[in-house]
Amino acid sequence: MKVHRLVSTLIACGLLCASTLASAYDADWKRGRIYYRSVCTACHAAQAGGSIAPSTMTKAEWGAYLQKDKHAKGKDSVKQYVSKSYRASIRSQNKAADKFADLPDEELFEDLKAFLIKGAKDGDAPASCS
């Protein structure tokens, strides 16, 4: 009994380590916050009709949204707006895009995700727009 528990714990632990190491990246929600506010929210507020507070959706909804990766009802992808090429295209007018110009796409995407999950309606710190 004890043995089994030990084994399963170790396996679970191993799998957990593996999964963390596979992504091998410790997301920075504060970086996500800056990018989300300065790029996502700024553009949505100015061009796409209104603010998009993280707290308008649940963690699960944000997770699913980012998983599907469909932006503007499927016209394009979310990843595209986090990509280096997009950042390069707006960096002359956008300080956040400029600041994070050289960040790998996956890292910035994880940062953004961390902020959205944290700021979701049922997240650890729901983030609304003041």
Residue among 126, 129, 122, 103 at smallest CA distance from 58:
122
The 53-92 site mask, x for binding other proteins (CB under 8 A), equals ----------------------------------------
Which one of residues 25, 71, 83, 86 is an interface residue with other proteins (CB under 8 A)?
25
Contact 33, 100 (CB under 8 A): no
For other proteins, which stretch binds (CB under 8 A), given 34-42, 43-51, 60-68, 74-82?
34-42
Which residue in 26, 72, 89, 101 binds other proteins (CB under 8 A)? 26
Contact 85, 79 (CB under 8 A): no
Residue 73, Cα to own-chain centre: how many angstroms?
A: 18
Under the criterion CB under 8 A, does residue 48 sit at the interface with other proteins? no
Binding to other proteins by residue 99, rule CB under 8 A? yes
Closest C-alpha to 99, from 32, 26, 25: 32
Cβ neighbours of residue 96 closer than 8 Å, sequence gap 6 or more: 34, 35, 37, 38, 39
- Chain contacts with other proteins (rule: CB under 8 A): 2-3, 6-7, 10-11, 13-15, 17-18, 21-22, 24-26, 29-30, 33-34, 37-38, 95-96, 98-99, 118, 124-125, 130
